[in-house]
Amino acid sequence: MTRADSAARDRILVIGRSGQLAQALLELDSGLVACGRDQFDLSRDDAGSLLDAHAPCAVINAAAYTDVNGAESDPEGAQALNCTGPARLAAACKARGVRFLHVSTDYVFDGAAGGAPYKETARTRPLNVYARTKRNGEDAVITANEDALILRAAWIFDGRGGSFLNAILNRLDNGLPLKVVQDQISTPTWAPDLANALLRLARSETMPAGVFHFSGGPAASWFDFARAAIRLAQPQLPVEPVIDPVDSSAFPQPAQRPLDTRMDAQALLTATGIGPGDWRAGLPEVISRRYEQRKG
């Protein structure tokens, strides 16, 4: 077998290219093939043709409609990207014997479990359109391809785009005070931790099927997360940062958020040996890179 044949046999195709998760995947493995929306529109393009053109051994779907508030006024668009499109892609993978991995969210839960981490078997109850389309997507993917793996993750962050982390750091860079919610709790997930888990799973000949939870590390509130980021960024800030904890009611939004969506990730560890990441280890790297790039 030639080197080219071997590379083709091990090819992993990533759907999505510009998002935090897709970029983290590409940084971990530059040999991945990533298709942005200009090459493949998940909401309407033919998945079979895409797979036939690239002949991957596995597909990681890192594309999604992630504008939680925007989905409230665009349920059709959210459904197309979070449910209908992934189901078609899952079916095409099933027909060709290609492993399919799909990323879902902690928002499928209502956050009313009283602090007990949710297991995969816990009842789901989405509170907003985004979460409902992601939950619909889980069902549609498994119906189309019973061999698919769905990995739920929470609060994915990195140093790119319009993330919560960048939003708070931008305010601090401008010397502005912060008010951050303290009653929304989950497990922040550093994008490279999730990307590493997905690549390990995609390359496994014994990849499990069904829904699993990935833990990004210890539970935290948005306020806890912001305070940890501030401690790291403080030497770079123009003035002493001011941050105040508030409840969610202080920030009315179109989409209701669940309050406590901690997830139990023991099933993934037991089935695959993949344990939790640690957002506390990723956060210093993200912030260090941010300010080093600005100096450069």
Name the residue ranges covered by the structural domains of the chain: 3-161+189-217+261-277
Q: What percent of the chain has pLDDT over 90?
A: 88
**Which positions are annotated as active-site residues?**
130
Q: Quick one: fold of 3-161+189-217+261-277?
A: Rossmann fold (3.40.50)
What's the whole-number average pLDDT of the chain? 93
Indicate whether 296 pLDDT > 70: no
Whether residue 8 has pLDDT greater than 60: no
Q: Is the pTM of this model over 0.75?
A: yes
Mean pLDDT of the 131-148 span: 98
Check residue 5 and give its pLDDT: 44
**What share of the chain in percent tops pLDDT 70?**
96
pLDDT at residue 215 is higher than 80: yes
**Residue 51, φ and ψ in degrees, nearest 5:** -65, -40
Task: Give the integer Cα–Cα distance in Å for 98 and 88.
Answer: 13
Q: Give the model's pLDDT for residue 163.
A: 83
139-172 as b/e: b if 16+ CB within 10 A: ebbbebbebbbbbbbbbbbbbbeebebbebbeeb
Average pLDDT of the residues in 217-227: 96
Question: CA nearest 262: which of 165, 117, 130, 162?
Answer: 117
pLDDT of 160 reads: 79
- Check whether 6 has a pLDDT greater than 50: no
Question: Quick one: pLDDT band at residue 4, thresholds 50, 70, 90?
Answer: very low
